[in-house]
Amino acid sequence: MTRGRTLALAAAGLVIATTVPLLGASRPAAASDNGSALRPAMGWSSWSFVRRQPTDAKIKAQADALAASGLAGHGLVYINLDDFWQKCDANGFVVDSYGRWAVDTDKFPSGIKALADYVHAKGLKFGFYVTPGIAKNAVTADTPIEGTSYHAKDIADTSKTEKNYNCKNMYYIDYGKPGAQEFVDSWARQFASWGVDYLKIDGVGSADVSDVQAWDKALRATRRPVDFALSNNLPIDHAATWRQLANSWRTQGDVECYCGPGPNGSGYPLTDWSHVSARFNSAASWQQYAGPGGWNDLDSLEIGNGDQAGLTADQRRSHFTLWAMAASPLLLGTDLTRLDTVDKAMLTNDRLIGVDQDGVAAKRIVNSGAQQVWSKKESSGDHVVALFNTGTSGNATVRVNWSQVGFTGSGDVTDLWSGSHKGTVANTYSATLRPGETRLIRVRPLG
């Protein structure tokens, strides 16, 4: 079994931990100790392709495709249901008897637990979605908080509304009030009982630290392992807080271009190069905060449906390479029922997956216009180096000295995309790259 394959399967929980090499020595302090996300999550999320119309049938079809495609065997095991699973009326979210969002039974007639059970039966994990606050309808009806004598009006701050992208009408929660933590606890217990393995809390900003603290505490109290993800475009000045409380955090806005022909810009293309290439700067800025237990999330990986996703094959390889070098979660946003053969070969490249799953976020060591070089050192002593031409026209010869990487003399080089062994290279490595192309190598210092 190759090293990359071992790492990928370890991330999926499919091999014993002793087969996974130790992580690099450099790691940030104060990571979440909830026991989740020792490696970045890998799988699929509904937002990019399914968008605002998720249904039971659509999510099951993607789970079927993930399992049948063989991608799960490479570590891609999450099926994450994003926004629009909830039911709304003119005043916002319809709520249950305890003030929590009600499931839209037209979309999910058997409920969320049945869907999670279906996903689990495929050997996969199930992810879910929520935003901070308490629904206006809960406050209007003054619903009781489960297991307490408190009610929605006791904990709501109706002077301000939380960010919400769907039904809106979410009030802030005043966590200084009795019953506030208990409300979030009841929601977390419900999600745990449904079989949630990954929870994305969206619309998080600087004013929501208390919500993130409450959800972290509530999820721990369920005793169910949950990968806790924050979204989106979180402020970097709170990076140490996000790392302490959660397992990943979105470092920018959406990677989707919203330039498709459907409602709200849905449909193909899903993204464009400008939305992907914008991640190079944010990945460099956030690099120091990534490590076991907490990862910089660059957003969905739009690989799987070929050129129609909005990127050329070269750009898609660069897309994957940057995400892997950054040790970002790898959550596909494409339609898994129509996998492109070129893209499937990319997604089953265990050498690339191993770079993502090594638990080390790369540093940018060359930044000269469209020419960029990123590097990281793994626990074996090998260095992984990525060279990029991020431009949209004109070839570029990108160079890096081994001294910039972190050693001197010669190195033994292997191309990780092709798997070909390039042999000994002294002092300097260079590659002439097409617009949007990348070269990813593993180099072992000699001598």
The C-alpha atoms of residue 381 and residue 355 are separated, in whole angstroms, by 14
The answer to whether 298 and 292 have CB atoms below 8 angstroms apart is: no
Nearest residue to 324 via CA among 267, 249, 385, 246: 385
Beta strands 410-415 and 438-446, pairing class: antiparallel
The C-alpha atoms of residue 364 and residue 366 are separated, in whole angstroms, by 6
Nearest residue to 188 via CA among 211, 161, 209: 211
Rounded to a whole number, what is the distance in angstroms from the first to the last CA of the chain? Answer: 27
Q: Which of the 8 DSSP states describes residue 291?
A: B
Of 202, 297, 350, 358, catalytic: 202
The amino acid occupying position 402 is: W
The answer to whether 179 and 151 have CB atoms below 8 angstroms apart is: yes
The C-alpha atoms of residue 231 and residue 294 are separated, in whole angstroms, by 13
Query: Is 202 considered catalytic here?
Result: yes
Instruction: Give the H/E segment covering residue 49.
Output: helix 47-50
Query: Is 254 considered catalytic here?
Result: yes
Of 64, 104, 117, 254, catalytic: 254
Q: Which of the 8 DSSP states describes residue 314?
A: H
Residues marked as catalytic: 202, 254
